[in-house]
Structure 1
Amino acid sequence: MGLLRKKLAVLDLTHGGIPIAKKLAALGNDVSGVDVYGTVDQALLGELEEKYGIRCSKVPLPISEFDFLVVPVHLNPAYSMLAEARAEGKAVLSHHEAVGKILQDSLELSGTRIIEVTGVKAKTSTASLLADMLSRRFKVVLHTSRGLEAWEKGSPSLVHRGLSITPGSILTAIEKSLEAGVRPNFFIFEISIGGTGTADFGILTTISPDYGIANNTALASDAKLQLILNAKSGSTLLLNAGAKKVLEAAKGSQAKILTFKDPFYSEAHPEISETPDFVLETEETLNTNEVPGSTLHFLRTGEEIFSASLRPGYNNSAYRTAFVAASVSALELGIEIKDIVCVLEQFRGLSGRMQEKELNGTALIDNSNSGMDILSAEKALEYALLKKKDEKKKSIILVLGEEASQVCEGLPPASVQGFVEKFGTKCRHIILVGQRMGEVTADNASYAGSLPEGLSKASELAGTEDIILSSVKCFR
């Protein structure tokens, strides 16, 4: 399906539809934008019409006017324009597919390779570690939920902050990078719920825990299969060997398929049926000062390629998926083993992803990020309880909740209620963050409107012998 001189409608201007609509209009198409959720400011809609020629509407438009629709994978299939288009057999492109078609013929990307990372867990960590590894030899631009960064020789510099990881944001990330004069050898894109089909190297970290999208009429894991089903000939895909659905979809792929054993996933799913190409094993060790540590052993088809001793100061078990996925990718893309080992051994954790810090003299475990969910909160509390026991701390002050319910589906209050009923007594006090958390009740709970307010209250309650655990879903 061509994207030239067509009449089309881009649905959902809230979640990445605006950059897609702009680019399609610039290519000479007659574009209408539909603000499905009614959340886009009227002034911005007016600007889209006046400056880019994009007709905007907050209500559904007649299907008969358009050659096809461009629709996000998570849109409710009952939305009238989408339902009518499918009933009439009219073509529907996902946002992912539209971005892929836009990028296919982009002269701006000549000589640049694209890496896409999707999955439920470990996307940001995998992409960030891989950027560090690749930057030891190449110029890299990394786009994740943390921001748009240029990497060179192991050092990042911020190019732009504030982009989401919707497929449409890829277009903005490329534009911002080139405007800043950064022309990398690699673009690495963390991308939500699928792939665009333009990746030279695609990584699927996990599909578990799965969740419903499109008003619970579909599974996110099925949408993520776009990374495989749309993969271009000659590309490489690195897939989690524990995800049977993924491996089944890859059987007819034109891409080169590599698999890795996810140490985190395989503990809960020991029945992995196929022998993975790459495996990461961890060994608990004592250093020369009798301080507990961890050593990674990286194996390919059963033979150890290298080992790496990890630094303390963060929960390295939370990064095991990222360690193996990033290392495999770097090896395949031409990075020397010594550089991969160097990155792993120097790694100190990512902010908001099980990193250990201090807050006004109190130990802080920072697990607040955009991908945080209730399972992550449970794992973080489990780690905090071990730390409390090992270091003879007195108690745990938990900061739990969300800063924005729109961040990757939010943190359902019902899940939080179940969490505090099951684990609440293990904490001296719980500070619930976010407006929706007002629905949650617990004897030892209080409330805060934001993460900074929650941390401030926790700092007031905690002493130097306590632990503050921060698990808030938020953009950082």
Structure 2
Amino acid sequence: MRPLTDCKALVVDMTHGGKVLCEELLKRGCEVHALDNHRTLKKEEIDFLNSRGIKVFSDEKDLKVEEYDAIIVQHADPTMKLFSYALELGVPVISHSRAVGIIVSEIKGSLKIVEITGTNGKTTTANILAKIICDSGGTVLIHDSLSTRILKDSGEFLLRKGLSITPANVLKAFRLSENYDLDYAVFEISLGGTGAGDIGVLTGIYENYRASFFRNAFNSKLQMAINMKNGILVLNGDNIARRFAHVFFGRSNVYGIESGQEVKVKRIGEKVEGVIEHLYTVSGGEVNCQFGFKLQQNLFGRFQILNALGALTAAASLGLEVEEACKSIESFKGVKGRALAEKTERGIFVNCSNRGVNVTAMLSAIDEAQSLKGVKADGIVAVFSGSERATCEIIDTPRLGEELKKRDIDLIILSGALGRRLAELGIQGEFVENLSKNEVERLSARFNNPLILFFSNEA
């Protein structure tokens, strides 16, 4: 019997891809019920699902758990009685990720899939890898937090903008690309991996925020290692992510600046230089060679080096030529909002807008900027704007406030709900109601050559 076919399934969480899964399960002959536990569905959406034969519930009390063959959940309180009843009654409970993996594994054919997760660097790593693949002559589907598109030697083809990176949208992106002859697919995924990947990349876990049915980011990302049964796991050795190698069924390739194993950095100067030793490939081969690449000057910080190393390791694991991959990295110009530095008339402006909820990444950028004071800048300016949450992540504002007090930042500019909260926590700075780049540069004009770090989750 094929899994997730001709069964009665309950899909929990209609906010993060549940509707996509319901439609796919219908195609597989399942009777499907939906639990809108966050109560975010509009009446017209409920009416549409009902018209498709999908019964929608908003309260777990109305469910008869014993009737289901499988329960599929993403974001939900694990203490809901629904799940304890399922455990008692012997009803399997799996994640959206696992369900997507089951379906994609059946329909992907010879397509090589790379799944990328982590709390930092997913989008940049995915884009570097997609560029490497395209430059090598491959046709690749890339689905990231910005858009879903096809890259091939003849150009870039946009399929959809703004599709979230919740696991179920791997299926959505896959369906959007069905008319293209693909060699590879690169999926950025918010919570763990589906298990359908030939390569699974974990860029690191720097914030263990509360997340999904699995309680926190660490356990959610761990699903990458649990769901993959074949293929290769690519891990950041400079982070706790390296521990996933010990619970993974298959092979692992570990990269890092300090603690790389298969991909090791030997020197960081004008170029990043290192060695690859005993790296496993999906075809069963082994790679041993030296590597070196020079990042574009607008790519700011240590995380950008790690992103490049992660993409290089994934490319080598796919069997792509290391020397050619390094050339692709050298011509990569970055991703908007992902620590891109811009030289202006009034200093250096670094757009770190995507780090707006990640305290560790924000502090790392500040520390790196401070190391450049007196060398490339005469003042460090940090701008904090936006809200205290983005998607399903909530910034640890008290921790950020305490850490900022320990650092000698020349000027802090505050705006929005995040800035207001930091001011309440005792952070001294200039509060600006209507923030703009021009206003930031005006306030920074007290320095001759400031390095301005712009943090916001409202890019």
Matched residue SS, 2:15: helix
Return the offset for 1:221.
2.3
After TM superposition, the structure 1 = structure 2 runs for residues 350-369 of structure 1, keeping only pairs within 5 Å, are 350-358=335-343, 362-369=347-354
Could you say which residue in structure 2 is the equivalent of 1:125?
124
2:444: which partner in 1?
462
* CA gap 1:408/1:296 in 2 versus in 1, 3 angstroms: farther
TM-score (norm 1): 0.83
Aligned to 1:173: 173
The CA distance in 1 between the partners of 2:221 and 2:212, in whole Å, is: 13
Which residue identity lines up with residue 440 of structure 1 in the other structure? Answer: L
Give the letter for the 1:398 counterpart. Answer: A
Aligned to 1:86: 87
Contact 1:432–1:454 under 8 Å retained in 2:
no
How far apart, in 1, do the equivalents of 2:140 and 2:372 lie? 36
Contact kept in structure 2, 1:195 and 1:227, CA below 8 Å = yes
Q: Aligned to 2:415, what secondary structure does the other structure show?
A: strand
Cα deviation for residue 447 of structure 1 reads 5.0
Post-superposition Cα deviations, 1:381-436, rounded to whole Å, max 9, x if no partner, equal 2233344422343x44422244572424132332333244333x514232233x35
Matches of 2:154 and 2:354, distance apart in 1: 23
Say yes or no: does 1:418 pair with 2:402: yes
One-letter identity of the residue aligned with 1:439: R
How far apart are the structure 2 equivalents of 1:417 and 1:336? 45
Deviations 1:107-131 (A, max 9, x none): xx33312111122322222211111
Go from structure 1 to structure 2 and tell me whether the alpha carbon gap of 1:38 and 1:422 turns closer, same or farther (over 3 Å shift).
Answer: farther
Q: Deviation of residue 9 (structure 1)?
A: 1.3
Match of 1:290 in 2: none
**How many angstroms apart in 1 are the aligned matches of 2:87 and 2:174?**
32
Higher mean C-alpha displacement, 125-134 vs 110-119: 110-119
Contact between 2:49 and 2:56, CA under 8 Å: does it hold in 1? yes
Amino acid corresponding to residue 129 of structure 2 in structure 1 = L
Q: How far 1:71 sits from its partner (Å)?
A: 0.6
Distance 1:344 1:218, change over 3 A: same
Q: 2:429 maps to what in 1?
A: 444
Q: In structure 2, what is the Cα distance between the partners aligned to 1:259 and 1:299? A: 10
Task: Indicate yes or no: 2:185 matched with 1:197.
Answer: no
Give runs of aligned pairs for residues 132-151 of structure 1, distance below 5 A: 132-136=131-135, 137-151=137-151
Is the 1:104–1:198 contact (alpha carbons within 8 Å) kept by the matching residues of 2? yes
The answer (yes or no) to whether the contact 1:296–1:310 under 8 Å persists in 2 is no
Counterpart of 2:367 (choices 382, 386, 395) is: 382
What are the superposed Cα offsets for residues 346-386 of structure 1, whole Å, 9 maximum, x if unpaired?
12332212211256855310111168511111122223334
2:331 aligned with 1:329: no
Counterpart in 1 of 2:414?
Answer: 431
- In structure 1, the partner of 2:161 is 161
Q: Name the counterpart of 1:296.
A: 273
One-letter identity of the residue aligned with 2:321 = E
- Structure 1 CA distance for aligned equivalents of residues 73 and 111 of structure 2: 28
Structure 2 equivalent of residue 114 of structure 1? 113
Q: Is the 8 A contact 1:34 1:58 kept in 2?
A: yes
Q: Give 1:8-407 correspondences, 5 Å limit.
A: 8-50=9-51, 52-60=52-60, 61-62=62-63, 63-72=65-74, 74-106=75-107, 109-136=108-135, 137-153=137-153, 156-178=156-178, 181-214=179-212, 218-233=215-230, 235-241=231-237, 243=241, 245-250=243-248, 253=249, 255=250, 257-263=251-257, 266=258, 276-284=261-269, 293-300=270-277, 304-358=289-343, 362-369=347-354, 372-393=357-378, 395-403=379-387, 405-407=389-391
- Classify the secondary structure of the residue corresponding to 2:41: coil
Q: Which amino acid aligns with 1:431?
A: L
Q: Partners in 1 of 2:206 and 2:397 — Cα distance?
A: 21
Q: AA paired with 1:461?
A: L
Instruction: Give the AA of the match of 1:347.
Output: F
Uncovered stretches (5+) of structure 2, i.e. residues with no partner: 280-287
**How many residues get paired?**
440
Contact 1:31–1:54 under 8 Å retained in 2: yes
TM-score (norm 2): 0.86
CA distance in 2, matches of 1:428, 1:8: 55
* Structure 1 pair 443–278 and aligned structure 2 pair: CA distance change class (3 A): closer
Provide the identity percentage: 24
Q: Look up the equivalent residue of 1:200 and give its one-letter code.
A: D
Kept after mapping to 2: 8 A contact 1:370/1:408: no
Q: CA RMSD in A?
A: 2.8
1:280-306 deviation digits (Å, cap 9, x = unpaired): 23322xxxxxxxx33333432596522
1:15 is paired with a residue of what secondary structure?
coil
Specify the SS of the correspondent of 1:14: coil
Q: 1:436 to 1:370 in 2, by over 3 A?
A: closer
Q: Which amino acid aligns with 2:235?
A: L
Matches of 2:154 and 2:347 in 1, distance apart? Answer: 31
Query: Is the 2:377–2:450 Cα contact (8 Å) retained in structure 1?
Result: no
Q: Residues 460 and 240 from structure 1, CA distance in 2 versus in 1: closer, same or farther, beyond 3 angstroms? A: closer
Structure 1: segments with no counterpart, 5+ residues:
267-271, 285-292
Give CA-to-partner distance per residue, 1:46-105, whole Å, 9 cap, x none.
Answer: 22222x322222222322342221111x52211232233224332111111111122232
Aligned to 1:288: none
Checking the alignment, whether the CA contact within 8 Å between 1:294 and 1:309 is kept in structure 2 is yes
